[in-house]
Amino acid sequence: MSLPRNPLKSLNSYVLIGADRNLIVDTGFNLPESLQDLRAGIEELGLDMKRTDIFLTHFHADHCGLVPKVVSPDSVVYMSAVDRDLFDDVMDNADNFWVLVERRFLNEGYPKNEFERTQTANPAKKYLPEVKFTSVPVADGTRLSYGNFRLECVWTPGHTPGHVCLFDKDQGIFFSGDHVLFDITPNITAWATLPNSLQHYMNSLLRIRDCPVRVTLTGHRENDGVLSERVAQLIAHHKNRLANVERILEDQPGLNGYEVASCMNWDIRAKNWADFPPGQRWFAVGEALSHLNYLIDQGKVKRIVKNGVHTYFPVKTCECEI
């Protein structure tokens, strides 16, 4: 279904049809265009929503945004408890939630006026459901059964702190959500509740690499790649990015997180950092931070607070300067 005015372009929503009950995996932004597509799909398949449940791979708005619009009182919505807590937080304490996010990003050198511009257009904020919905928690190993599908939940934190994939081992079908995407790389940002998210993400990639998978059904874009090959590419991608960050700090020790992001290599049509759409700059800084946190945990980088802003040094330079 379409995700208008968003670089992701579309969301892949999957429907598993059973004799008794059906399962929809992920919904879409709370936007009329996405809703129209989802409703058209429900109609085309003749789904009775009274006999249809919904599985959410994670709490992002492009996956959970439409739940209240299509769910019936008889539907069960599945979601991990960890992402449910984040969802509740962003729905119940939105102002406080975004104030804390803003504080964290300003501490990384994000210019305040630019941050505000980013946030007014932030789809993660704008396209969440208007109301909450009840959900049933799933955890690693939780089993669900729909039609011919015997599904197992696979705990894959990284993209969000409580991301969960679904795996039908007998048929070799893997619903990867946003854990593995084929033609774009999932955004790995810094989370207050998941220190060193990149390490978690890499562990979650290694965890699934050798699963006997025939078909990988992703949350966005293409879904005809080979899982093990893509996992290897994603790990190599992050290793390159870590090396990129290390080189930047060797050349320019003492940059803040925003400045590090501005120096990194990005695969984007923008000519340079100034040309980045504000929303993409926000994702880029989050990505820079997750890589900096990983390097700090490895003892390769140190964070020093100067005038309330975090600055980063390669460990050697840092020791000399202190």
Separation CA 124–CA 122 (nearest Å): 5
* Angle in degrees, CA 134, 88, 108, rounded to 5: 155
Q: Which is nearer to Zn ion, 168 or 178 (CB)?
A: 178
Q: Which is nearer to Zn ion, 56 or 245 (CB)?
A: 56
- Sequence-separated (6 or more) residues with CB below 8 Å from residue 286: 187, 188, 189, 190
Structure-token match 């959500």, residue found:
177
Q: Which is nearer to Zn ion, 179 or 302 (CB)?
A: 179
Q: Which is nearer to Zn ion, 118 or 187 (CB)?
A: 187
Q: What is the DSSP letter of 50?
A: G
Residues that bind Zn ion (CB under 5 A): 62, 178, 219
- 61 half-sphere exposure, CB direction, 13 A CA radius: 19
Q: Which is nearer to Zn ion, 62 or 287 (CB)?
A: 62
Provide the sign of the torsion angle of the four alpha carbons 296, 264, 5, 226, taken in this order: negative
State the nearest-atom distance from the C-beta of 220 to Zn ion, in Å: 6
Q: Which is nearer to Zn ion, 62 or 259 (CB)?
A: 62
Alpha-carbon torsion angle 228, 234, 239, 240, nearest 10? 130
State the nearest-atom distance from the C-beta of 219 to Zn ion, in Å: 5
State the nearest-atom distance from the C-beta of 180 to Zn ion, in Å: 12
How many residues would you count in the chain?
Answer: 322
State the nearest-atom distance from the C-beta of 258 to Zn ion, in Å: 24
- Sequence-separated (6 or more) residues with CB below 8 Å from residue 169: 150, 152, 211, 212
State the nearest-atom distance from the C-beta of 46 to Zn ion, in Å: 27
State the nearest-atom distance from the C-beta of 257 to Zn ion, in Å: 23
What phi and psi, each to the nearest 5 degrees, are found at residue 15? -125, 125
